[in-house]
Structure 1
Amino acid sequence: MELQEIERILKETLNLNEVYAQGENAHFGVIVVSDEIAALSKLKQQQTIYAPLMPYFSTGEIHALTIKTYTTEKWEMDRLLHQAS
């Protein structure tokens, strides 16, 4: 599965400010920037992000998915810290 396809699916189905996918060989990670999703419990975040990708788990195109969620404020702070180092 292509990284851009994962990003497209999540952008089209969820209310996200930004999304970034990485990985290969059916093992992927996503960074999701959304105040709405970041406000949910960890379990609800996982369920929300997994839901539009479930068909790809069924086919084996995605075997594993790690998720990092950020509020827009935390994401901007993280980006500034990484630029400074």
Structure 2
Amino acid sequence: METEAVVQLIRTGIPGAKVQVTGDGSHFEAIIVSEVFEGLSLLKRERLVMETVKDQVASGELHALSVKARTPTQQAAQG
């Protein structure tokens, strides 16, 4: 699976999100910044992101996805 395909899946599931994905074809790391995450726990944020790629995980096309889900305020604080 290509990184751009993962980006598109997440953007489709979380419209308006800023998405950055790195990886090696089966293991990926994603940084997602969206206002949707405001007020959600880290677990709920991760579940929301994983829902966007559940079919690819179920089929084995995507083996692992590390998620960093941040609000715009949190991202700005990261520098």
Cα offset, 1:30, TM superposition:
0.5
Give ranges in structure 2 of 5+ residues lacking alignment: none
Percentage identity across paired residues of the two chains: 25
Larger Rg: 1
Superposed CA RMSD in Å reads 1.6
Determine the structure 2 residue equivalent to 1:72.
72
Distance 2:41 2:77 in 1: 21
The structure in which a higher percent of residues are helix is 1
Cα offset, 1:15, TM superposition:
3.4
> Could you tell which deviates more after superposition, 15-24 or 44-53?
15-24
Determine the structure 1 residue equivalent to 2:55.
55
Determine the structure 1 residue equivalent to 2:40.
40
> Per-residue displacement from partner, 1:39-76 (whole Å, max 9, x unpaired)?
31122112111112011111211111111122112212
Give ranges in structure 1 of 5+ residues lacking alignment: none
Determine the structure 2 residue equivalent to 1:21.
21
Distance 2:54 2:11 in 1: 15
Following TM superposition, the consecutive aligned residue runs of length 4 or more in structure 1 with deviations greater than 3 angstroms are none
Per the normalisation by structure 2, the TM-score is: 0.85
